[in-house]
Amino acid sequence: MNLENVIFKALVVRQTDSGLFHRSIEQRRVEDLPVGDVLVSVQYSSLNYKDALSASGNRGVTKKFPHTPGVDAAGVIAWSRDPAFQPGMEVVVSGYDLGMNTSGGFGQYIRVPSGWVLPKPDILTLLQSMQIGTAGFTAAQCVSAIIESGVESAAGPVLVTGATGGVGSIAIALLSQCGYRVIAVTGKESEYPFLKKLGAEDCLSRKQLSLGSDRLLLRERWAGIVDSVGGAMLASAIKATQYGGTVTCCGNAMSGDLPINVYPFILRAVRLIGIDSAQCPMERRKRIWEKLAGSWKIPLLDEMSRTVTLNELDASIQQMLRGGSRGRVIIDLQEDA
């Protein structure tokens, strides 16, 4: 069978003559995919905030259109010129340039460099690997940074912003499993029971977190922070971080700006650590995934995720852009085969 002639479905984002962006499910051929060492038949993908931005025509994420987003993909090797990856092997591809300027996981096939491909941990199913996905991998990096910086569970609570999102919900579960007291921040009071089920000790509203945000410093409260929103919320949290505390920053769901002074850093020795998943070296990537498949395996993955088909994906993208997402959204690419 000539795989180059295989036709598959993909979500494609196009710019119209009026300059607006439109997304739809289209048929594509494997021969239209970029060159690469490995062709993967995608079984599952997941929806991340970066995907929603790309699907809306954000040129800070994707520079050229038409384009298929999807920074995550889990599937089966269909063809490979690299002997390390044989047909039928189950793999995970996430980060690097996938779904940004390289056709991504919102299509039933991807073709990528072999250096981007991770053999799926045996203990995880393909579905579970996408229930974790880039969001879970990012959350795990944040938790690792907090632990590696010496923040002990007895030091005080760890704050998680954007708590109902993919990164936030998995961070809560991981931190709780590691013995930390977790305080979750969300704008959705109705989700407090969900967050407490994941392991949050208590929940705060965005307004509660931002009280006194105009002050140079706030009362020391947080031993650590996992932040995925940026902006004024992150600034307020940093001002209330304890002496020697660690703040991990991995997103900009609220804002890419950080309106902060230097005092938390020079008077309290607060550490601000940036977390990137796209260019994370493969060796560290493997170590994090081994933890997520082992001692950090999350028992509530099914409860913090929901599955949609490719044809249902557009509504989930719109919901995420409105700030209405909860947990993880998984795309089952097999449903539309």
Percentage of the chain with pLDDT > 70?
99
Weakest-pLDDT range from 1-5, 247-251, 257-261: 1-5
pTM attached to this predicted model = 0.93
Q: Collapsing DSSP states into helix, strand and coil, what is residue 154?
A: helix
Rounded Cα distance, 39 and 77, in Å: 6
CA distances from 28 to 32, 56, 97, 230, 288 (A): 7, 20, 20, 37, 34
- The DSSP annotation for 268-329 comes to S--EEEE--STT--HHHHHHHHHHHHTTT--TTTTTTEEEEEGGGHHHHHHHHHTT---SEE
Rounded Cα distance, 262 and 254, in Å: 21
Fold for 3-120+304-336, please state it.
Quinone Oxidoreductase; Chain A, domain 1 (3.90.180)
Which token pair is 39? 């062709």
pLDDT, average across residues 159-184: 96
Residue extent(s) of CATH 3.40.50.720 domains in the chain: 133-274
Cα 2 to the chain's mean position, in Å? 35
Whether pLDDT at 239 is above 70: yes
Give residue-wise pLDDT tens across range 302-326: 999 999 999 999 999 999 998 888 8
Rounded Cα distance, 292 and 192, in Å: 25
**pLDDT on residue 89:** 98
pLDDT, average across residues 241-249: 98
**CATH 2.160.10.10 correct for 133-274:** no
Rounded Cα distance, 160 and 172, in Å: 7
Rounded Cα distance, 117 and 220, in Å: 43
Structure confidence at residue 148 as a pLDDT band (50, 70, 90): very high
Residue extent(s) of CATH 3.90.180.10 domains in the chain: 3-120+304-336
Give residue-wise pLDDT tens across range 279-306: 999 999 999 999 999 999 999 999 999 9
CA distances from 55 to 15, 176, 240, 331 (A): 11, 33, 36, 15
- CB 22, CB 13: distance < 8 Å: yes
Cβ count within 10 A of residue 294? 11
pLDDT, average across residues 201-217: 88
**pLDDT on residue 5:** 83
- CB 137, CB 292: distance < 8 Å: yes
Torsion over CA of 202, 208, 277 and 126, rounded to 10 degrees?
Answer: 40
Give residue-wise pLDDT tens across range 92-139: 999 999 999 999 999 999 999 999 999 999 999 999 999 999 999 999
Structure confidence at residue 78 as a pLDDT band (50, 70, 90): very high
**pLDDT on residue 335:** 66
